[in-house]
Amino acid sequence: MSQTVRALCGRPPYFPVRLAESVATKWVSSGVWTPSFLSENLGDSLTVKRATGRFFMYAEASGANGMLPDSDAHKTDLVTLKPRDFFSKVVDGDPDGHRYYFTAPVMNLIPKLMPQVEEWPSLDLQEAEGVEPWKCIRPYLSVWIGGQDVTTQAHYDVANNVFIQVYGEKEFWCYPPSETSNLHVFPDAHPRARKSQVDFDRPDASLFPRFANLPPPLKFVLRPGDALYIPPFWFHHVRALTPSISLNVFSESRIKLAAADAFQVPLPRYLMEMDPAYRAAAIQLFVRALAPRLGLDPTALLADLLESRYKPLFGAGHTVYGRRDPAALAQLRDAMRVPAASGAARVAELPAEVRREVEGCVGRAAEGAAAHLGRMQSACRAGEAAHAQGLVETVAAHLVELWAVQLLGAEQIYDQLSAVLMAAAEDDAQQQ
């Protein structure tokens, strides 16, 4: 059954909802959001994404800000085209076989068209009321344009997302955050963080064994005038069934605000000043302090993080969409010049005074982070417990990664976390 944004405002459900929005029908009937109109009204040129395959995903600059190197496989190029040429390739296809995709905030792209969509603020879920403005994202309207079969790889966004189809058809496959491990997302230290590593067309079971456990998705086909609400942290794999034009509004969510507060819990300065050999032990203590507060097993949390996110990259060869890339793997190995695992100290090896100080630091930080994650969980409604728990597990794994990258460095994180997991498993065995 379709609902309206107005009915969801204030506390939206934590699952995707098909919407019935009168503004969607109005925008479709305006005739503005069509290839013929836009090709003549988007100025002299557009900078668009071009790829040889059908998959598109946003990526940070490889190696920037301490990130892991990325592969050139399935690289997206930026090309400048006249709007008429772009829409010709979108509608009729490119003789060279390339796929094209374009997105931009409407206000930045075509301000003169904003009066045609003046109702767009009505698609804000209004969860920012009473929150300091500097903490909140400002809602905005974006346009998404692509040819038939153009696909956005499974990923999640952290804001509320109201998506409206104005031309052509799109299919959405939606998965809850509890499926993060089965989707084998790229680590936070990777340029393609938040996206699935798996080639959905040709999944490699040897690299991504958990993908076989992925349940059937919630499927939605959107036609002109249709709308869909996608909650924060819900994965969506989106394919254009025909040449397609869509609009969407991202707006603030209480879940995102609580997660952001957890990420803002400061890393104790004392830990950054520790001997590097002790920092892996600090990570282990942090996980021990955080996980039980969230109803999670510390060792299982670490194992899940490594097996689902890092092992496909480091353990079996660097991959993009499931394809092994020896050149990128060599680049990763070159970056890992220090055999980090050999320098990782066990918790039991910490001097007594150091251990007391570290336990105090990480305990206070874990308590603060867990409180924020509990607030995030409480933003979900009764009856959404499974989705809420998956949300907590996903964000907790991100928090552990954040600490690990800051304390250990992205280039050493797999070796170091492997050592931490091994030590944690040994400690568990000794306590049994």
Report residue 155's pLDDT band, with 50, 70 and 90 as the boundaries. Answer: very high
Query: Residue 177 pLDDT > 90, yes or no?
Result: yes
What pLDDT does 280 receive?
81
Q: Mean pLDDT: which of 121-125, 215-219, 372-376 is highest? A: 215-219
Taking alpha carbons only, the member of 422, 393, 417 closest to residue 404 is 417
Q: Mean pLDDT: which of 46-60, 174-188, 299-313 is highest? A: 174-188
Q: In what order do the strands lie in the sheet with 151-155?
A: 55-56, 151-155, 235-240, 170-175, 218-222
What pLDDT does 237 receive?
97
Mean pLDDT of 316-337: 45
Q: Which residue has the higher pLDDT, 240 or 363?
A: 240
| Ranges of H-type helices in 219-351 | 254-263, 269-272, 276-293, 298-305, 326-335
Q: Which letter does DSSP use for residue 125 in this model?
A: -
What pLDDT does 324 receive?
46
Q: Which letter does DSSP use for residue 178 in this model?
A: G
Instruction: Give the chain's length.
Output: 432
Asked whether 30 and 116 are in contact (CB, 8 A), the reply is yes
Mean pLDDT for the chain?
84
**Which tens digit of pLDDT belongs to each residue from 221-265?**
999 999 999 999 999 999 999 999 999 999 999 999 999 899 888
The three-state secondary structure class of 84 is: helix
| Angle, vertex CA 412, rays to CA 406 and CA 416, nearest 5 | 90
**Which tens digit of pLDDT belongs to each residue from 266-281?**
888 778 888 777 888 8
Measure the CA–CA gap between 332 and 346, rounded to whole angstroms: 26
Tell me which of 34-38, 55-59, 182-186, 329-333 is least confident: 329-333
Query: Residue 1 pLDDT > 60, yes or no?
Result: no
Query: Residue 70 pLDDT > 90, yes or no?
Result: no
Question: Residue 160 forms beta bridges with which residues?
Answer: 251
Mean pLDDT of 159-176: 97
Q: Is 415 exposed, middle or buried (0-12, 13-18, 19+ CB in 10 A)?
A: buried
Asked whether 21 and 164 are in contact (CB, 8 A), the reply is yes
CA 164 to chain centre: 21
What pLDDT does 2 receive?
58
Query: Residue 130 pLDDT > 90, yes or no?
Result: no
Residue 363 backbone zone (phi > 0: left; psi -120 to 50: alpha; other: beta):
alpha
pTM summary value:
0.89
Measure the CA–CA gap between 408 and 338, rounded to whole angstroms: 11
Measure the CA–CA gap between 271 and 191, rounded to whole angstroms: 26
**Which tens digit of pLDDT belongs to each residue from 213-227?**
999 999 999 999 999
What pLDDT does 410 receive?
75
**Which tens digit of pLDDT belongs to each residue from 75-87?**
778 899 999 999 9
Mean pLDDT of 179-193: 90
pLDDT over 70 percentage in the chain: 85
pLDDT over 90 percentage in the chain: 42
Give 3-state DSSP helix, strand, coil % of the chain, rounded to 5.
Answer: 45, 20, 35
